[in-house]
Each structure stands twice: as C-alpha cells, then as structure tokens.
Structure 1
Amino acid sequence: MTTAGQQAATASSAPGRVGLLARLVARPELGSLLGAGLVLTFFSLISGQFLSTLGAATWLDDSATLGIAAVAVALLMIGGEFDLSVGVMTASSALITSLLAVYAGWNVWAALAAALAFALAVGALNGWLVMRTGLPSFIVTLGTFLALQGLNLGVTRLVTGTVQVSGIREADGYTQAGYLFASTVQVGGAPFPVSILWWVAVTAAASALLVRTRFGNWVFAIGGSAPSARQVGVPVVRSKVLLFMGTAAAAWLVGAINLLRYTTVQAGQGVGLEFQFIIAAVIGGCLMTGGYGSAVGASIGALIFGMARQGIVFARWNSDWFMLFLGAMLISAVLVNNTVRRRTERVRG
C-alpha cells in the first residue's frame, strides 16, 4: 500500500515538476540570467575589486542608463520594429534642455518639459511614418537619425559657436532637477547614482505593462503577426506609435540624467548608442523577428554589458577586448534565443 501510494504521489507530482521546468526553460530572460551569472563569476575571480561596494557601484552605474533605453527598445522589438534614432535622441533632448535653460533663460523644469514634448513628437512621427508608408522602421528611423544628427550639430554651432553646451548648473531649477535625476546615495562608502533607481523603476513598469495589461498582449500579438492581430481587433497603428513614443521618452530620460549629472552636452554624442541598446535587448532574449522577449531580459542584457565593460577595466586588460567579448555575447545570445523560442513553441504546441 505504501509503495503504491508513493508511486501515485510521484506520478501525480511529476507533471507539475516537468511543467514548472518547461516554463522556466521557456522564459526569454533565462539565457541572459545565466550569462550574467557567468560574467559576474568570471570577473569576480579575475579581480578582487569587482565585487566590492565601489566596484558594484561602478558597473551598475554603467548599466543603468543603457538599461533604461534598452528596456524601451526591447518593447519596440517585441512589437516587431526598430528605432535607430534613439541614441541621437538622447543628445537632442539634452541639447534642447540646455539651450533653453542656458541661452533662453528658461527654468530647467520647463526646458525638460519642452525637450520631452519634442522627443514624444519625433517618436510619434516615426511611428506614423512607418505605419503610413509601409517602409521598414530601419529606413524611417535611419532618416530620423541623420536629421537629428544634423540638427544637433547645426543648431548648436549656430547658437553657441561651438559643438557643446555647458553652464546649466547656474540655471534656475537645476538644484531640484539635479537631485531627482543626477544625485547619488552613499552605500557602504560608495556613491550609487539615482539613475540605478530609475533603471529599476523603468524595468518594473515595462515588465508590468507587458505581462499584466491588455496593451502588453497587443504588443506580443503585433510582433507575432500584425495582420492577424488587426483581424482580431488590436489597434496596430496606435500601439506601434505608442511604442515609438516610448523609446523617445526613454531617450529623453537618459539625456536628462546625463546632462544634469555632467552639466554639459556635446552635439555629436549619442551616435552609436542605438546599437548598444539593440544588442542589450537581444542579449536579454529579444528576437530580431519580433513577438518574443521581455523587459527584465533586456535589463539583464544591459547589466551584462556594464559588467563586461567595467570588468575589463578592473582586470586591467586593453579595452579593445570588449568588442570581441560583445560580439561573442551577441552571437551566443541569438543562438540561445532561437533555441529557447523553438522549445517554447513545442511546449505551447
């Protein structure tokens, strides 16, 4: 009787265990989580300073602004689109804020609001053009990238005579805005920037949006098949426009954090960041084809990025090795993501 009861209990519990294991393996962020653990362990063994309080503050700081934008880019990629203008937008929004505050005498808060309005308008235009013309988002946002880059350089040189703007520290409202976007918290004798808290908040909000709201379901449906989503009543155009506005808003936040922290902005900065955001999202589990990924995974991808970049510094290696590491991580992530996606389809099928 006891043996039979044990066998029955085992039989009844096995499907639950298998189901739990299958769900864990099917999670898009699983590969990035394992990768983060490996990177953390590797550099901890290489350098004793890597896991110190100051070391953690350094690589978390590096990951924070990258993670904020990567999470928004991940949502857009899940929806089946790309935004190549998000990197330059970080500079555009910072330049608008600083020009209005320093040269027009605006309060920093008003300048930040104007920069946010500009960013949202550009994001909405990107989304509208993609949906209206049917052109690939790669082409549309590449055009926006070039236009913003030209505006950044042209307007900044026209107003200041140089390619940078500084002096926002003396503007009205800087102290309060700086406290919100650029302050630090001492933990264990090391300064942890408030941008880390912004990163955590953005990740949590985006994750809740994806998994707990109707809009999140729409994003996955649109990324999987926009025509099918449209047939079941999903507002495809509105949803994609909002996703593009989300990447623009994230770029504004990153620009505000960097501007108020360093109090200066270069007209040419931000170029190339868009690829870092996409790479972080892919390392975090997003597929280039859309319909799959997670906000948490993109955030972990940014963490891997930051740990690797600063880990190489702690190890006192030549920084050129970082690009090799990044390329290997990207290829590995794509292979892992495709494998996980196929397994997920089998589990669901």
Structure 2
Amino acid sequence: MEPPAEQRPSARSLARRLANRPELGSVVGAAAVFVFFSAVADAFLQWSSFGTVLYAASTIGIMAVPVALLMIGGEFDLSAGVLVTSSALVSSMFSYQMTANVWVGVGVSLLATLAVGFVNGLLLVRTGLPSFIVTLGTFLILQGCNLGFTKLISGTVSTKTIADMEGFDSAADVFASHLTVGDLDLQVTVLWWLGLVAVATWILLRTRAGNWIYAVGGDAQAACAVGVPVHRTKIGLYVGVSLAAWISGQHLLMSYDVVQSGEGVGNEFLYIIAAVIGGCLLTGGYGSAVGSAVGAFIFGMADKGIVYARWNADWFTFFLGAMLLLATLLNAWVRRRAEARR
C-alpha cells in the first residue's frame, strides 16, 4: 500500500538529507571494500578477523577523529604521528628515571603532550604562518627530541621496561586491555575510538563550538567579523589532536612496554587520509567525525583484508591510494549535489 501523501515528503526529505551527508562517499566505499574482501578472503568474515579489523581501525581512528575536526577548521597537523611516540616516551622515561608510579609518568605525559598542541595552535594564530610550515617544524623538532633524548637517557633507541613498576597493570587496564562481547574479542582502543567519535559528533552538531569550527574552516575572516573566536577555536582544535595523541601514546606504551623512539613517522598521513576518505575537504569547512571513523574502518579492512587474502603486503599502499582517489571524487560529487540543492 502506498504511504499517505503527508508522509512522503518527510521520507523524501530524510533521504535527501542522508544523500547530502559528507560521509556518504565513505559509507559506499566501506560497503564495497567489505563485499570485496568477503569474496576474496574466506577468513575475513570470521569473528576473530572482525575483531582484528576493528583494532587496526581504532589505532588510526582515535587520531583521525580530532584530525578531521582540525581539517574541518581549515588546518593540518603534520606532527601528529611523532607526537604519539613522544607521549609514550615521556611516560616511560619519566616513570623509569624517577622510579615513580607509572600513573605519575602518564600524568606528566598528558601535560607535556597538551603543551605541544597548545604551542602549535598559538604559533599558528600569532605568526600567521601556514599550518603546514608550523607543524612540519614541530614534526622535525619532536623527531629529533625523540631520538636524541632516548639515546641520551637510555643509551639506546628504545626505552627501558617498566612492566614491573607500580601502577603499570592498572594503566594497562585503561589503555591496553581486552574485553569480550559474545564471541568477539575487542581491544579497549575500540571503545576509546567510538567514544571520541560520539563526543566529536556531539560537538559538531549540538554545540556552538561545532558551529565555530565549520565557520572558521569555511571563511576565517568572515567568521571573525561575526564574532567567532577564531584563534581560540584553532588552538582548541590543536589541543584536541594532542589529547588523542596522548591516548594513542599510552596505548602504545602499555601494549608493548618498550617504545622505539623512531616510531610514528608517516602515520600523520594515514590520519589525514582517513579523514579525507571520510569526506573532509582539504580546504576546510566540510566533513564529519563519523566520516573519519568510516575512513579508519576502510583502512582497517584494507590492512587486514590483504593479509587474509594472502596477498603481498606491498599492495596495501596501492589499495589505500586508490580508495583515497575514488572516495575524494565521490565526496566532491556529493558536495556539488548538496550545494546545487541549496
């Protein structure tokens, strides 16, 4: 039976709103990737495999969420990858050298990591330099500090073990534990990831700060003219990236106990790729936190799907690049349709 006439416009309106969402392209891409690997890799559909895919997605997704918000605000952060390693190194070396409770090192790391984000944002708004230059400088400084201080303090390129120190087990429960949901074994990073997606979505869609982020990314000068605190918004976005880097860094430390000081280089591009696949524009003012989560999920499926299909792992970068181009083209088409209907 055909629905009543008064119900049809609202149904069309809902469908139109969904079609105009920035994450539409990434959802279509995720469905295609899922079907593809389900067909070529039998192990891909197993519950244990799904848990592994979610873990791989969460390690990228935790950082992709604040990076997406930063990109919506019209900026980049090239230091995000090495900042994760810096956060883990500070926690480990402070706890070991001071023979302190591991939670003390975790707290010191939080303050140090947030300070880096604050300085990134402050330099950006005070100097007027492009975020590419500011965060590239921070990237090089952190990379040098990670290697230099680790060799100076530990004598090697890796930290000393802190697994037997007080507080390590409880910290590992928070940042690197496992939980079982039915037959599905999950890492706690999946919960951190989903929690960040929920908070970021609420900020973007239900708060003034979310309106400020879109306004700053769309046109910073126009936003400033109508009273939007542009500088405060951008600094806050960089601090948000740093907070996520701290969470990821603690997971890195609590999972492996020992941290290699050269890790993290290049991961910043994975975060940006996940955000772009999820619908964020490089020019700012457009995107969503949910889209970044779908982009990270695509990353997880591609990363592990290639393994389950028993292909050469070198094909992963090819697959990721192809997904980036296809998703970008589809996202651009969705955006043009949305703008044409306004």
TM exceeds 0.5? yes
Asked which structure has the greater CA Rg, the reply is 1
Q: 1:243-271, CA deviations, whole angstroms, 9 ceiling, x for partnerless residues?
A: 00000111111010111011111110000
Distance in 2 (CA, whole Å) between partners of 1:221 and 1:190 is 41
Aligned to 2:298: 304
Helix, strand or coil at the partner of 1:169: coil
Aligned to 2:323: 329
Aligned to 1:93: 87
Shift of 1:55: 0.4
Helix, strand or coil at the partner of 1:217: helix
Shift of 1:344: 1.6
Helix, strand or coil at the partner of 1:175: helix
Helix, strand or coil at the partner of 2:186: strand
Contact persistence 2:22–2:291 (CA under 8 A)? yes
Aligned to 1:163: 157
Report the AA paired with residue 113 of structure 2: A
Q: CA RMSD in A?
A: 1.4
Contact persistence 1:32–1:284 (CA under 8 A)? yes
Q: 1:1-26, CA deviations, whole angstroms, 9 ceiling, x for partnerless residues?
A: xxxxx89x54x554333322221111
Q: 1:115-170, CA deviations, whole angstroms, 9 ceiling, x for partnerless residues?
A: 11111111011111111111100110000000000000000000011000131211
Aligned to 1:257: 251
Contact persistence 2:154–2:160 (CA under 8 A)? no
Aligned to 2:265: 271
Aligned to 1:318: 312
Contact persistence 1:98–1:168 (CA under 8 A)? yes
Aligned to 2:338: 344
Distance in 2 (CA, whole Å) between partners of 1:187 and 1:79 is 36
Distance in 2 (CA, whole Å) between partners of 1:41 and 1:166 is 44
Q: Percent identity?
A: 53
Shift of 1:343: 1.5
Distance in 1 (CA, whole Å) between partners of 2:104 and 2:96 is 12
Shift of 1:187: 4.1
Distance in 2 (CA, whole Å) between partners of 1:30 and 1:189 is 30
Contact persistence 1:53–1:187 (CA under 8 A)? no
Normalising by structure 1, we get a TM-score of 0.95
Which of 279, 288, 308 lines up with 1:285 in the alignment? Answer: 279
Aligned to 1:31: 25
Q: 1:182-201, CA deviations, whole angstroms, 9 ceiling, x for partnerless residues?
A: 11113455532111111111
Aligned to 1:3: none
Unmatched runs of 5 consecutive residues or more in structure 1: 1-5
Contact persistence 1:124–1:242 (CA under 8 A)? yes
Which of 186, 189, 213 lines up with 2:180 in the alignment? Answer: 186
Shift of 1:42: 1.1
Aligned to 1:117: 111
Shift of 1:96: 0.3
Distance in 1 (CA, whole Å) between partners of 2:173 and 2:157 is 27
1:234 and 2:210 aligned: no
Contact persistence 1:28–1:293 (CA under 8 A)? yes
Helix, strand or coil at the partner of 2:42: coil
Aligned to 1:151: 145
Contact persistence 2:73–2:214 (CA under 8 A)? yes
1:204 and 2:198 aligned: yes
What are the equivalent positions in structure 2 for 1:2-13 lying under 5 Å apart?
9-10=4-5, 12-13=6-7
Q: 1:45-86, CA deviations, whole angstroms, 9 ceiling, x for partnerless residues?
A: 112211111101111111111100000100000000000000
Which of 105, 110, 134 lines up with 2:128 in the alignment? Answer: 134
Report the AA paired with residue 319 of structure 1: A
Aligned to 1:218: 212
What are the equivalent positions in structure 2 for 1:17-28 lying under 5 Å apart?
17-28=11-22
Contact persistence 2:24–2:331 (CA under 8 A)? no
Q: 1:318-339, CA deviations, whole angstroms, 9 ceiling, x for partnerless residues?
A: 0111111111111112111211
Contact persistence 1:53–1:188 (CA under 8 A)? no
Contact persistence 2:51–2:185 (CA under 8 A)? yes
Aligned to 1:294: 288
Report the AA paired with residue 238 of structure 2: F
Report the AA paired with residue 217 of structure 1: N
Distance in 1 (CA, whole Å) between partners of 2:181 and 2:122 is 45
Helix, strand or coil at the partner of 1:186: strand
Helix, strand or coil at the partner of 1:185: strand
1:52 and 2:65 aligned: no
